[in-house]
Amino acid sequence: MAQWPTLCSFLTLLEVRANMPSEKPKKITGTEPVDLLPPDPILFGQSEAMKEVRLRAAKICDTNIPVLLYGDGGTGKEVLARWIHKHSPSRTGQFVKVNCAAIPGTLLESELFGYEKGAFTGARVSKPGRVELAHNGTLFLDEVAELDLGLQSKLLQFLQDGHYSRIGDESERAVEARLICATNKDLEHGIEAGRFRADLYYRINVVRIRMPRLRERREDITILAGYFKKQYERQFVKESAALEPQMLNYLRNLDWPGNLRELSNSIARYVLIGPEAAIIPESPKRRAAAAQASPDEANAGPLKRIAREAIRDMERNLILEALRANQWNRRRAAVALKISYRALIYKIRDTGLISGRSKLSTDSQLDNNGASHSSTD
Ligand SMILES: Nc1ncnc2c1ncn2[C@@H]1O[C@H](COP(=O)(O)OP(=O)(O)OP(=O)(O)O)[C@@H](O)[C@H]1O
Ligand SMILES: [Mg+2]
């Protein structure tokens, strides 16, 4: 029998979202561990599409050749970058990630190349850059298409001879590092539009590997779902029911625009809340696609439909209450609901409290106490 959601399970759903891998560009946090990778049979699965990826990655990992990973969001570019590092001569050094989209250009330059004491206001001590930290290791430039043109030239100079200077320092330093870049944008299009330097493109694109979308590797969904389930059971110290063949069949038939990240999120909901939650896709558009993908589900008995509607209504009411209690300040409402600001904005749209089209006008109404937020907040 379908389980009725309780207020408690509902709040948990909101919290799960807050604890789930965030879509927000990650802050540069320093060097990252690579030993948390999934085992190879999971990471590469059994699909033809991933066999190709594995073959290419295995061929180049022994060398120091620059690699460009491209593919849609959530397809596993970063996971593969870590795998390449782990299997390359640079594994004795550190894996240093720089998210080029997360930091404005001027700051990014000092993050990348470091600075000397007194180089600019606030530079009270000298600081090494990410490039320096990657010496004898791997420098992973994520979302490389977002680099501004000024930094692209600086990076190009560095890639040409391995030399660079910290900001405010005349002397040159040398670094040996493996370079891996990742993007979900079409860099060639960026070149045509004058946003990306062709010479830098040829430097970073010596070998390129395309990460397939999850829907191009449906055969791997079962093994991945099982892996995520175990991971979340361990993380949340909670056992969950075995994934029924019917459920796996349903998951294999979805389109997964958010790729492995979206599958992982669905399984997190499955573990914490149950099968009902796992099959509620994350956006209205996805709900429509899911209904098409699974006629059985679309025609499910009224109880299931009612349960789903009830979940949505409860969520909507909770959010409304929190917004009212916090004078429509979304940031404070998010704190009260124990979810991220971004998750709240998503929920406000998802529950139909405002539509995407009325976003701008409603956004200013919602923040009527003068708080201003950036859209990526
Ligand atoms: N091959 C894989 N096996 C198991 N989990 C994976 C695999 N690839 C990706 N994941 C998981 O899916 C999520 C997204 O992966 P990752 O961050 O590497 O994707 P991405 O392509 O870099 O995404 P984005 O473009 O949004 O930065 C992560 O939680 C990661 O652990
Ligand atoms: Mg990434």
Q: Quick check: is 372 in a domain?
A: no
* pLDDT, tens digit (0-9, with 9 covering 90-100), for 217-228: 999 999 999 999
| From 20-29, 74-83, 144-153, 318-327, the region with the lowest mean pLDDT | 20-29
Confidence tier at 307 by pLDDT (50, 70, 90): low
Give yes or no: residues 53 and 169 share one domain: yes
What is the best residue among 53, 80, 143, 261 to mutate for testing ligand 1's pocket, by most ligand atoms within 8 Å of CB? Answer: 261
Determine the structural domain holding residue 59 and report its residue range: 33-212
Beta strands in 165-304 (DSSP E): 173-174, 178-183, 207-210
The response to whether residue 25 sits with its C-beta less than 6 Å from ligand 1 reads no
* pLDDT, tens digit (0-9, with 9 covering 90-100), for 145-171: 999 999 999 999 999 989 988 999 888
What's the CA-to-centroid distance between 245 and ligand 2, angstroms? 31
Mean pLDDT over the full length of the chain: 79
CA distance 306 to 280: 13
The response to whether residue 89 sits with its C-beta less than 6 Å from ligand 1 reads no
Q: Quick check: is 241 in a domain?
A: yes
Confidence tier at 103 by pLDDT (50, 70, 90): confident
Confidence tier at 182 by pLDDT (50, 70, 90): very high
Q: Is-contact 126 165, C-beta < 8 A? A: no
Confidence tier at 33 by pLDDT (50, 70, 90): very low
Give yes or no: residues 229 and 361 share one domain: yes
pLDDT at 144 over 90: yes
The response to whether residue 103 sits with its C-beta less than 6 Å from ligand 1 reads no
Give yes or no: residues 163 and 273 share one domain: no
pLDDT of residue 121: 81
Confidence tier at 175 by pLDDT (50, 70, 90): very high
Confidence tier at 104 by pLDDT (50, 70, 90): confident
Give yes or no: residues 14 and 89 share one domain: no
What is the best residue among 85, 142, 260 to mutate for testing ligand 1's pocket, by most ligand atoms within 8 Å of CB? Answer: 260
Q: Is-contact 184 144, C-beta < 8 A? A: no
Residue whose CA is closest, atom 31 of ligand 1?
A: 79
Last residue of a domain, one of 212, 240, 263: 212
Give yes or no: residues 96 and 225 share one domain: no
Of the ranges 19-33, 105-119, 213-227, 279-293, which is most confident?
213-227
Percent of the chain with pLDDT over 70: 74
Q: Quick check: is 313 in a domain?
A: yes
Q: Which two tokens stand for residue 270?
A: 């499955």
Task: Identify the residue with better confidence: 85 or 303.
Answer: 85
pLDDT of residue 328: 78
Q: Quick check: is 221 in a domain?
A: yes
Confidence tier at 37 by pLDDT (50, 70, 90): very high
Side chain identity, residue 146: E
Give yes or no: residues 120 and 151 share one domain: yes
What's the CA-to-centroid distance between 346 and ligand 1, angstroms? 21
Give yes or no: residues 204 and 252 share one domain: no
Give yes or no: residues 89 and 117 share one domain: yes
> Number of structural domains, the chain?
2
Give yes or no: residues 208 and 263 share one domain: no
Q: Quick check: is 28 in a domain?
A: no
Residue whose CA is closest, atom 4 of ligand 1?
A: 43
pLDDT of residue 119: 81
Give yes or no: residues 190 and 329 share one domain: no
Give yes or no: residues 183 and 319 share one domain: no
Confidence tier at 308 by pLDDT (50, 70, 90): low
Give yes or no: residues 278 and 355 share one domain: yes
Last residue of a domain, one of 153, 177, 212: 212
Q: Quick check: is 299 in a domain?
A: yes
List the CATH number of the domain containing 201.
3.40.50.300
Q: Quick check: is 374 in a domain?
A: no
User: DSSP letter at 167?
Assistant: B
Q: Quick check: is 199 in a domain?
A: yes
Confidence tier at 102 by pLDDT (50, 70, 90): confident
pLDDT at 264 over 90: yes
CA distance 278 to 120: 51
pLDDT at 298 over 60: no
Last residue of a domain, one of 178, 212, 246: 212
pLDDT at 286 over 80: no
